[in-house]
Amino acid sequence: MKNTPFTQKHIELGAKMVPFAGYNMPVEYTGIKEEHLAVRNNVGVFDVSHMGEFWVKGPNALRFIQYVTSNDASVLIPGKVQYTCMPNGDGGIVDDLLVYCIDSQTYLLVVNAANIEKDWAHLCKYAPEYGITPGKELYNASDEICQLAIQGPNALKIMRRICDYPVDEMEYYTFRKMTVAGIKDAIFSTTGYTGAGGCEVYVANEDAEKLWNGVFEAGAPEGIRPIGLGARDTLRLEMGFCLYGNDIDDTTSPLEAGLGWITKFIDSKGDFIDKDYMLKQKANGLTRRLCGFEMVDKGIARHGYEVCSADGEVIGFVTSGTMSPSLGKAIGLAYVAAPLYKASSEIFIKVRGKLLKAVVVKTPFYKSI
């Protein structure tokens, strides 16, 4: 099991450590609900150094990315970030990821920790067709880079104190190279997986302690605190964000997962993996779809629970579920057969042999003011 450059910090702070995606990671410090609300209302710091980073370079970099991802990367300009996914060639998803455009011939792909090896093998399969050599124009830097995600409504105000650029003026899904906490050429981006606002900072592993100390010193007046993966999961679920391995995987298409907005069938995009399959799926209509739901009856739906119609017929399954700390109600995501995946449909979740009523709702569950 791997450690991140911040693992010892988590242990010293009393975090409950668990294995996650092959890493020793903090799941919570003082409690998931308390940490969740700290991020939603103030600011918190996540160690996300387990994420993977691949560089793609050269004159064919964009053509390669266009083929292996579903979104249209041609719209990216330097300093912009794009959310996308990699279709697997069999109608499913290899992974969802972020694409950073450094310049017209240099891109950074940020992938999920659990999928680093799988993603790398998938990209290496197609790279030679575009004159891209694994280990050269396609480079796996995952073990060289660490990352902190500083999230919450006060995050950018705090980070402004240790950056040489007015980061509080940056737009959503943009990035810049800048000096952060005295670390030159850090990558500072404003994406986020919590819906609470904030940023991510990428630096070399050797600068990890300097980054950690700088962030926590800057945020001390606001009571900044470290946050575990447990609250990261409840925060992303309140926003309806997909978690790979739960809500999307190698058996779910982007269209079924509600990711049609990052699946572009346009001339500027050109051909890409599974394009024809998804065009047929779109034309024929979806037989199931990922949807949000709120529990009506008392109970919490968990991953893998069956979803049923009013007469008890199994029509789907729960992919994620929790008691929302912000809303005080049980929520979840599930794949549900047509036509019951539409908003306001009444569905039933089988919990310990009992059918509990729920209603399909539009996401995000939590809407920031």
Q: What is the pLDDT of residues 204-218, one digit of tens each?
A: 999 999 999 999 999
Q: Does domain 52-124 have CATH number 3.30.70.1400?
A: yes
Q: What is the pLDDT of residues 135-191, one digit of tens each?
A: 999 999 999 999 999 999 999 999 999 999 999 999 999 999 999 999 999 999 999
Distance between CA atoms of 161 and 158, rounded to whole angstroms? Answer: 6
pTM of the model: 0.96
Cα dihedral 305/300/293/198 (nearest 10): -110
> In terms of residues, how long is the chain?
369
CATH topology of domain 7-50+144-237: Gyrase A; domain 2 (3.30.1360)
Name every residue whose Cβ is closer than 8 Å to that of residue 53 and which is 6 or more positions away in sequence.
Answer: 108, 109, 110, 111, 140, 141, 142, 144, 145, 202
Can you give the pLDDT at residue 196?
Answer: 96
Can you give the pLDDT at residue 368?
Answer: 63
Please tell me the CATH code under which domain 260-361 is placed.
2.40.30.110
Q: What is the pLDDT of residues 13-69, one digit of tens each?
A: 999 999 999 999 999 999 999 999 999 999 999 999 999 999 999 999 999 999 999
Q: Are strands 288-295 and 306-308 parallel, antiparallel or unpaired?
A: unpaired
- For the chain, give every domain's residue range: 7-50+144-237, 52-124, 260-361
Can you give the pLDDT at residue 367?
Answer: 86
Confidence of residue 96 (pLDDT cuts 50, 70, 90): very high
The answer, yes or no, to whether residue 369 has pLDDT greater than 50, is no
Q: What is the pLDDT of residues 101-129, one digit of tens each?
A: 999 999 999 999 999 999 999 999 999 99
The answer, yes or no, to whether residue 302 has pLDDT greater than 50, is yes
Q: What is the DSSP letter of 30?
A: S
